[in-house]
Structure formats: C-alpha cells, structure tokens
A and B are shown apart, each in its own frame.
Chain A
C-alpha cells in the first residue's frame, strides 16, 4: 500500500508568490519522521526540512515551512516568496520507528515550475 501520497503531479507558481505542496501519509506507528527533498533538473536530492511526529512546533527552515497536521496525517510543504531557482521536483518521504528508523519511503513527487 502506498504510504506517501502526493496528489499534485505539477504546479505553476508565479515568482514571489507562496506555494503549498500537499503530502499525506499512512502509518500506524506513533514514532515517525517526515522529510521533504528538492530534486532540480540536475538530479541531486537536496534535503529541505524534517518534522518528527512528536514535534509540537511546525518545522521551518528559511523560506520552507512544514504544515504538520497529525490527526489528518498531512505534512504539507510551504515555500514562501518563490524564486526561479525553486523550479524542481519536490518529494515527501517518511521514516518509521517500526522500521528501525531505516529506509525512507517516498511519494511520487510534485513538479514545481516558477514563472517570472
């Protein structure tokens, strides 16, 4: 069964606008972590932000913030003040304690295109 669902295959956003990328997850574990990665056209995987299941505050890293709604099993990424360099594929991923904090399980990704 799919553990991570990203329902937006692609999005266009205008420069300087904010964009929200959706991610829902499925787990019965109480301890888990949620990650967001950026993959530009060059192919590398760039870590953006992490949210632990027990973290009370939503994670923030610069222009990236994570809107964590535990009861809804939702971990949406918000990019504020979009820049042309934000054009990339974005992946949501989850890691579970039941898996000995082992592998990351990835969603299919959302392609973001930032327009001038």
Chain B
C-alpha cells in the first residue's frame, strides 16, 4: 500500500462549487504539505502543517483552506472553485530535513 494517498485522483467540477481534496499518510510523519503544480511551473506551496495544532499559509493560500484532522490526515478545500484553480495538487509529508515524500497527485479541473 502507498505511504501517502490522495483522494480523489481526478476531479472535474464547476465554478463556484466547494471541493475537498484529502490526503492520508501511514508514515507517521508530523509534517504535511499541500502543493499546486501548473503547466510550465514547479510546485508551489499552498499550506503546510508541522503538527496537528500548527497550520501555516504558503505562498499561494488565497482561495484555499485546510484542515488537519489527525496526524495522518490533511485536507485541502476550495470553498468556491474558479477555473484558474485547475491544476495538479500534491500532498507531501516529511519527518526530517533531508526528505519529503509526495502523494500521487490529484488532477483538478474547474469548468
């Protein structure tokens, strides 16, 4: 079984809809991250959490919110999706400074 899972893997939604992307990990890592990837760009950080009680905004947090329900779960929500939020979304985890493990990604299309 994969250590970092993301659901759904693909999602098509309409402008204005609320959508939640979920991330679960079995690695026991405290640190979890949400990144976004647009074509031609590297990954950019949306939100990150160093533990259940610690959540921080990344460089592109506008239009997104997160919830850290447990050490193993970190969800990303788009309260009112818009077309320019169409992207590939990655969840990641890490325990120490020299590693960061990524989930398989969620392809989100907002029509």
A102 touches B48 (CB 8 A): yes
Chain B residues with Cβ below 8 Å from A106 are 42-44
Instruction: State whether the Cβ of B64 lies closer than 8 Å to any Cβ in chain A.
Output: no
B99 touches A47 (CB 8 A): yes
Among residues 30 to 89 in chain A, which have CB atoms less than 8 Å away from a CB atom of chain B? 33, 35, 37, 43-45, 47, 50, 52
Of the listed residues A47, A93, A104, A109, the one surrounded by the most CB atoms of chain B closer than 10 A to its CB is: A104
A47 touches B101 (CB 8 A): yes
Instruction: State whether the Cβ of B12 lies closer than 8 Å to any Cβ in chain A.
Output: no
Q: Which chain B residue has the least Cβ–Cβ distance from A6?
A: B42
Instruction: State whether the Cβ of A112 lies closer than 8 Å to any Cβ in chain B.
Output: no
Q: Which chain B residue has the least Cβ–Cβ distance from A46?
A: B102
A103-B50 Cα distance, complex, nearest whole Å:
10
Chain B residues with Cβ below 8 Å from A21 are none
Query: Measured between C-beta atoms, what is the minimum distance from B23 to chain A in Å?
Result: 14
B104 touches A43 (CB 8 A): yes
Question: Which single member of B33, B43, B45, B96 contacts A91 (CB below 8 Å)?
Answer: B43
Mask of B45-89 contacts with A, CB within 8 angstroms, 1/0: 100101000001010000000000000000000000000000010
| 10 pairs of residues in contact across A and B, judged by CB atoms under 8 Å | A33-B97, A43-B88, A44-B102, A45-B102, A52-B98, A93-B42, A101-B96, A103-B45, A104-B92, A108-B41
Residues of B that sit less than 8 Å from A by CB: 31, 33, 35, 40-45, 48, 50, 56, 58, 88, 90, 92, 96-102, 104-105, 107
* A-B pairs with lowest CB-CB distance, top 4: A106-B42, A45-B102, A101-B97, A103-B45
Residues of A that sit less than 8 Å from B by CB: 4, 33, 35, 37, 43-45, 47, 50, 52, 91, 93, 95, 97, 100-109
